[in-house]
Structure 1
Amino acid sequence: MAKAGILYPGRSLNHNFLIALGRPADQLPRIFRQHYAGDESRLRADFDAFIGEIRQEIDAVTPHTVVMSGENLWHARNNEADRHRQLLASLATDVTIVAYVRRPADYYLSMIQQGMKASHQISRLRPIEYRNTIETLAGFGAKLEVHEYDVGSFPDGDISLDFARRYAPEAAGPLKKVTLRKRTNESMSAELMEIAREYRAHTHESQPNVFTKETKVLLRTLRNLDSGRRPKLKPEIADTLNHGAPDLLWLRNTHGVTFEGIDYDRIAEIPSSEPERIADICIVDQERKEGLVYEAIHAIVGGMTKDRPDLGYNFTTLFRPGTGGRRQGRGGRKKF
Structure 2
Amino acid sequence: MTWLKTDLAGLTQKGQDDWTRISQDVANDPPTTLLISNEMLFRPFPRAKLQEVDGIFDKVAQRKRLVAYLSAPDAMFLSSMQELLKEPQIPTRTSRTYFKDTLVPIAEHWTGDISLELFERQCMQESDIFTDFMAKHLPDVDVTQLDRHIGASNTSFSAEAMAVLYDLVMEHFPWYHDRRGFALEVMRFDRRLENPTKPKLRPHAKQAAINWRGPDLFWLRDTHGITFPSIDYDAIDVGDTDSNVNYVSRIEDICEVNMERKEELQRRAMRRGRLPFIMRRWLAKH
> TM-score, normalised on structure 2?
0.79
Identify if the C-alpha distance between structure 1 residues 140 and 179 changes in structure 2 by more than 3 Å, giving closer, same or farther: farther
What's 2:216 paired with? 247
Q: Does 1:275 align with 2:248?
A: yes
1:107 to 66, 76, 80: 76
Equivalent AA in structure 2 for residue 37 of structure 1: D
Q: Offset at 1:178?
A: 0.7
What's 1:291 paired with? 264
Which secondary structure does the structure 2 equivalent of 1:65 belong to?
A: coil
Instruction: Indicate the RMSD between aligned Cα atoms, in angstroms.
Output: 3.3
Q: What is the distance in 1 between the residues matched to 2:225 and 2:184?
A: 40
What's 2:124 paired with? 154
Identify if the C-alpha distance between structure 1 residues 287 and 228 changes in structure 2 by more than 3 Å, giving closer, same or farther: closer
What's 1:171 paired with? 141
Q: Offset at 1:234?
A: 1.2
What's 1:72 paired with? 40
Structure number with the bigger relative contact order (C-alpha 8 A, sep ≥ 6) is: 2
Q: What is the distance in 2 between the residues matched to 1:148 and 1:251?
A: 12
Contact 1:187 1:228 survives alignment (8 Å) = no
What's 1:325 paired with? none
Q: What is the distance in 1 between the residues matched to 2:250 and 2:146?
A: 39
Equivalent AA in structure 2 for residue 65 of structure 1: T
Which secondary structure does the structure 2 equivalent of 1:170 belong to?
A: coil
Q: What is the distance in 2 between the residues matched to 1:62 and 1:228?
A: 47
Equivalent AA in structure 2 for residue 46 of structure 1: K
Note the alpha carbon deviations across 1:274-320, whole angstroms, 9 max, x for none: 2122122222222231233345568889xx69x99xxxxxxxxxxxx
Q: What is the distance in 1 between the residues matched to 2:92 and 2:210?
A: 16
What's 1:19 paired with? none
1:16-31 matched pairs, under 5 angstroms:
31=2
Contact 2:84 2:91 survives alignment (8 Å) = yes
> TM-score, normalised on structure 1?
0.69
Q: What is the distance in 2 between the residues matched to 1:117 and 1:158?
A: 25
Equivalent AA in structure 2 for residue 242 of structure 1: I
Which secondary structure does the structure 1 equivalent of 2:141 belong to?
A: helix
Q: Offset at 1:179?
A: 3.5
Q: Offset at 1:60?
A: 3.6
1:55 to 23, 33, 53: 23
Q: What is the distance in 1 between the residues matched to 2:271 and 2:2?
A: 30
State the aligned residue count: 269
Note the alpha carbon deviations across 1:112-169, whole angstroms, 9 max, x for none: 1111101251333763621111123333342111111113443454312211111112
What's 2:56 paired with? 87
Identify if the C-alpha distance between structure 1 residues 212 and 55 changes in structure 2 by more than 3 Å, giving closer, same or farther: same
Unaligned runs of 5+ in 2: none
